[in-house]
């Protein structure tokens, strides 16, 4: 009974941690859409066209402005000032949120923006067994910090410092690794194919 309770707790917490960034994104986009819609509404009323491809003109203009604002924000995000602000936010606030770094890394991987991933999937050797983990950081003197996730809730787990020769890169996407962990290991054969030869 205790195992079932722990499984339910970790699964629910893992789901919550997974959904929080999406919920925040939806809330922010909703608020931005309201603000932009409030500004665009009076302008759209002056346009003689009532709809474009079946959509109301204010909604089309709002979408176009949002895409443009996101493009400008993306350009700004590449500046040193923006990177310094984001670095400060991450180090002082966001890093305290459990699972933030992993979720951020996965988001960057999906978006194709993460050139140097900090959470590469790895196989970790423990005596006669291997376990799936994520390489978090390389440490001097031939050691590494590895995050060993729980299954089926990979958002919680343990951080171990171990010798680098006990860690083998999987060279697969983090998303595939997480999917396998959530499914209690189903799909592991494809992840580890050719890694033991």
pTM score: 0.49
Q: Return the pLDDT at 103.
A: 63
What is the pLDDT of the chain when averaged over all its residues?
77
SS3 197: coil
For residue 193, pLDDT over 80 is answered with yes
Average pLDDT over residues 135-144: 90
- The model's pLDDT over 83-100, given as tens digits with 9 standing for 90+, comes to 788 777 777 776 666 566
Other C-beta atoms closer than 10 Å to the C-beta of 22 total 10
For residue 14, pLDDT over 70 is answered with no
* DSSP character at residue 98: T
For residue 197, pLDDT over 60 is answered with yes
Q: Return the pLDDT at 118.
A: 52
- The model's pLDDT over 149-188, given as tens digits with 9 standing for 90+, comes to 888 877 778 889 999 999 999 988 877 888 888 888 888 8
CA dist., res. 182 & res. 180, Å (int): 5
Q: Are 172 and 194 in contact (CB under 8 A)?
A: no
184 or 197, which is more confident? 184
Domain boundaries, the chain: 2-97, 120-191
Q: Return the pLDDT at 38.
A: 78
For residue 116, pLDDT over 50 is answered with no
For residue 189, pLDDT over 80 is answered with yes
For residue 112, pLDDT over 60 is answered with no
Lowest-pLDDT choice from 32-41, 73-82, 110-119, 185-194: 110-119
Closest CA to 150 of 102, 80, 96, 88: 102
Share of the chain above pLDDT 70, in %: 76
SS3 86: helix
Share of the chain above pLDDT 90, in %: 11
Average pLDDT over residues 142-151: 89
At the topology level, CATH places domain 120-191 in SH3 type barrels. (2.30.30)
């Amino acid at each position: 009974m205790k195992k079932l309770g722990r499984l339910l707790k970790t699964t629910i917490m893992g789901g919550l941690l997974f959904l929080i960034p999406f919920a925040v994104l939806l809330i922010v986009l909703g608020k931005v859409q309201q603000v932009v819609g409030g500004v665009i509404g009076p302008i759209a009323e002056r346009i003689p066209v009532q709809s474009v491809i079946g959509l109301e003109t204010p909604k089309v203009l709002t979408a176009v402005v949002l895409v443009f604002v996101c493009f400008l924000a993306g350009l700004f995000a590449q500046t040193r000032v923006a990177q310094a602000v984001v670095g400060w936010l991450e180090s002082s606030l966001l890093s305290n949120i459990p699972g933030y770094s992993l979720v951020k890394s996965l988001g960057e991987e999906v978006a194709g923006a993460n050139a140097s991933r900090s959470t590469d999937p790895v196989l970790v050797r423990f005596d006669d067994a291997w376990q799936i983990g994520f390489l978090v950081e390389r440490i001097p003197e031939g050691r590494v910090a590895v995050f060993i996730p729980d299954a089926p809730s990979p958002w919680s787990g343990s951080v171990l410092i171990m010798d680098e020769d006990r860690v083998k890169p999987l060279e697969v996407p983090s998303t595939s690794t997480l999917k396998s962990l959530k499914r209690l290991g189903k799909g592991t054969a494809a992840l580890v194919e050719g890694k033991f030869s």
